């Protein structure tokens, strides 16, 4: 049990974080995507502790964070080259994770016995300062309890991790609010997006038009077909039944008015510019309908608020699958466990 301390970003806070990491402790820290729960990759106790405090299934591998491409190259079988090098040079540091064949510096607990490792250079001063000072790559999953919405502020991390970790570094709200885009080079040399995020389909397409979405981004996949282990687990879910509603302002409004059962505790999440007349239901707003960046920044925070209020039914108006809107759609459809209502 720890008396968890939260410190704002400062040279002193970074030194404390470095000390904890070097001592093999795990800490909460911000990135530009979501807050992570970080530990040094070369200390098996740190890695085991990450799995333990999150309640993370033992077959769901961790992302390894590095500060530069040279550090990444040490963790993989062959140095980054070709189209992946072009993509890495363009989008690192940033919200992009690349799956590559691992070197023997990656132990099997991190990679869950896969032959590959997920690597990213975050665009986060906290994470980069710490890695540069320790010169050790950091394994860091999102800092939430497994299955729950990710943490986009230090207070979210405190809610999930208080007394389980000694220290949380606070650098305000995360810029993107959804986790990094994960990509992998397919057998036939195309770029496969396993998880959409801040580096969008359109961004990747502008570098190489041989890019495609894994089926699992928008559809429930059979466990046997999973290419990313995390996909088979429940994700981002507040308690209550979540429904993703594909519709416009009017069809969503009609749907709510015709389908709400008032013996349940209901809420709806919609756009700030929606104009919907409905009673007996709590309403949350997650941004204007075309402001995908604002939606991504807010969605987890709203899902976490809703989780605390114990709704029975949660109806979410779907975002457009454009830009980072695709990442928002993906998180909502998974929070809904693929319960989708198509109105139009």
CB of 235 to ligand TXA, least distance (A): 8
142 binds Mg ion (CB under 5 A): yes
For ligand TXA, which is the closer residue by CB, 286 or 300?
300
**89-92: long-range contacts, CB 8 A cutoff, minimum separation 24:** 90/207, 91/199, 91/203, 92/120, 92/121
Partner from ligand TXA, Mg ion, none contacting 21, C-beta within 5 to 8 A by type: none
Partner from Mg ion, ligand TXA, none contacting 31, C-beta within 5 to 8 A by type: ligand TXA
Partner from Mg ion, ligand TXA, none contacting 53, C-beta within 5 to 8 A by type: none
170 binds ligand TXA (CB under 6 A): no
* Residue 154, CA atoms < 13 Å, CB-side half-sphere: 16
CB of 34 to Mg ion, least distance (A): 7
State how far the Cα of 120 lies from the Cα of 92, in Å rounded to an integer: 8
99 binds ligand TXA (CB under 6 A): yes
228 binds ligand TXA (CB under 6 A): yes
237 binds Mg ion (CB under 5 A): no
For residue 284, the Cα-to-chain-centroid distance in whole angstroms is 21
Which listed range, 56-64, 70-78, 252-260, 312-320, lies at the site for ligand TXA (CB under 6 A)?
56-64
Give residues with Cβ within 8 angstroms of 52, minimum separation 6.
Answer: none
For ligand TXA, which is the closer residue by CB, 68 or 250?
68
Give the three-state DSSP class for 342. Answer: strand
| 116 touches 101 (CB < 8 A) | yes
Q: Is the CA virtual torsion 99, 339, 233, 311 positive or negative?
A: positive
State how far the Cα of 236 lies from the Cα of 334, in Å rounded to an integer: 7
142 binds ligand TXA (CB under 6 A): yes
Among the listed residues 11, 259, 27, 309, the one whose alpha carbon sits nearest the alpha carbon of residue 162? 27
State how far the Cα of 221 lies from the Cα of 123, in Å rounded to an integer: 31
CB of 116 to ligand TXA, least distance (A): 4
Partner from ligand TXA, Mg ion, none contacting 61, C-beta within 5 to 8 A by type: ligand TXA
**Residue count, binding to ligand TXA (CB under 6 A):** 26
For residue 318, the Cα-to-chain-centroid distance in whole angstroms is 18
180 binds Mg ion (CB under 5 A): no
Query: Which residue in the set 105, 114, 207, 343 belongs to the binding site for ligand TXA (CB under 6 A)?
Result: 114
182 binds ligand TXA (CB under 6 A): yes
Partner from Mg ion, ligand TXA, none contacting 295, C-beta within 5 to 8 A by type: none
Query: Which residue in the set 61, 196, 319, 325 belongs to the binding site for ligand TXA (CB under 6 A)?
Result: 61
State how far the Cα of 183 lies from the Cα of 196, in Å rounded to an integer: 9
Query: Which residue in the set 43, 46, 67, 97 belongs to the binding site for ligand TXA (CB under 6 A)?
Result: 97
For the record, the structure tokens of 212 come out as 């495609």
Q: Which helix (H) or strand (E) segment is 215 a member of? A: none
Query: Which residue in the set 4, 60, 134, 290 belongs to the binding site for ligand TXA (CB under 6 A)?
Result: 60
Provide the 8-state DSSP code for 145: P
Question: Which residues, listed in sequence order, are joined to residue 168 by a DSSP beta bridge?
Answer: 6, 28
67 binds Mg ion (CB under 5 A): no
289 binds ligand TXA (CB under 6 A): no
Q: Is the CA virtual torsion 300, 306, 307, 308 positive or negative?
A: positive
Give the three-state DSSP class for 111. Answer: helix
For ligand TXA, which is the closer residue by CB, 256 or 303?
303
For the record, the structure tokens of 263 come out as 């013996």
Residues found near Mg ion in the complex (CB under 5 A): 142
Residues found near ligand TXA in the complex (CB under 6 A): 31, 33-34, 36, 60-63, 95, 97, 99, 111, 114, 116-118, 122, 140-142, 179-180, 182, 228-230
């Amino acid at each position: 049990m720890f008396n968890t301390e939260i410190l704002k970003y400062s040279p002193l806070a970074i030194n404390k974080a470095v000390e904890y990491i070097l001592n093999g402790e795990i800490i909460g820290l911000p990135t530009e995507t979501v807050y992570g729960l970080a530990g040094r990759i070369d200390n098996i106790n740190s890695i085991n502790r990450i799995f333990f405090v999150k309640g993370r299934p033992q077959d769901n591998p961790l992302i390894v964070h590095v500060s530069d491409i040279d550090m990444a190259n040490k963790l993989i079988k062959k140095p980054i080259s070709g189209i992946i090098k072009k993509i890495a040079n363009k989008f690192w540091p940033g919200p992009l994770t690349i799956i590559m064949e691992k070197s023997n510096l990656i132990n099997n607990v991190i990679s869950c016995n896969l032959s590959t490792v997920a690597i990213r250079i975050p665009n986060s001063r906290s994470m980069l300062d710490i890695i540069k000072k320790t010169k050790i790559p950091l394994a860091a999953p999102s800092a939430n309890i497994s299955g729950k919405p990710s943490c986009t502020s230090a207070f979210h991390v405190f809610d999930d991790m208080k007394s389980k970790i000694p220290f949380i570094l606070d650098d305000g709200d995360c810029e993107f609010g959804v986790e990094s885009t994960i990509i992998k080079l397919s057998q036939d040399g195309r770029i496969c997006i396993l998880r959409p995020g801040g580096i969008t389909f359109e961004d990747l397409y502008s570098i190489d038009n041989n890019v495609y979405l894994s089926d699992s981004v928008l559809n429930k996949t059979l466990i046997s077909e999973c290419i990313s282990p995390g996909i088979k687990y429940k994700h981002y879910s507040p308690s209550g039944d979540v429904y993703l509603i594909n519709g416009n302002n009017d069809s969503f409004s009609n749907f709510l008015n015709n389908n709400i059962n008032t013996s349940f505790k209901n809420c709806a999440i919609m756009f700030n510019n929606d104009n919907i007349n409905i009673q007996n239901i709590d309403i949350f707003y997650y941004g204007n309908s075309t402001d995908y960046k604002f939606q991504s920044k807010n969605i987890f925070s709203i899902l976490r608020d809703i989780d605390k209020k114990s709704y029975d039914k949660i109806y979410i108006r779907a975002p457009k699958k454009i830009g980072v809107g695709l990442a928002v759609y993906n998180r909502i459809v998974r929070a809904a466990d693929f319960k989708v209502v198509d109105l139009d």
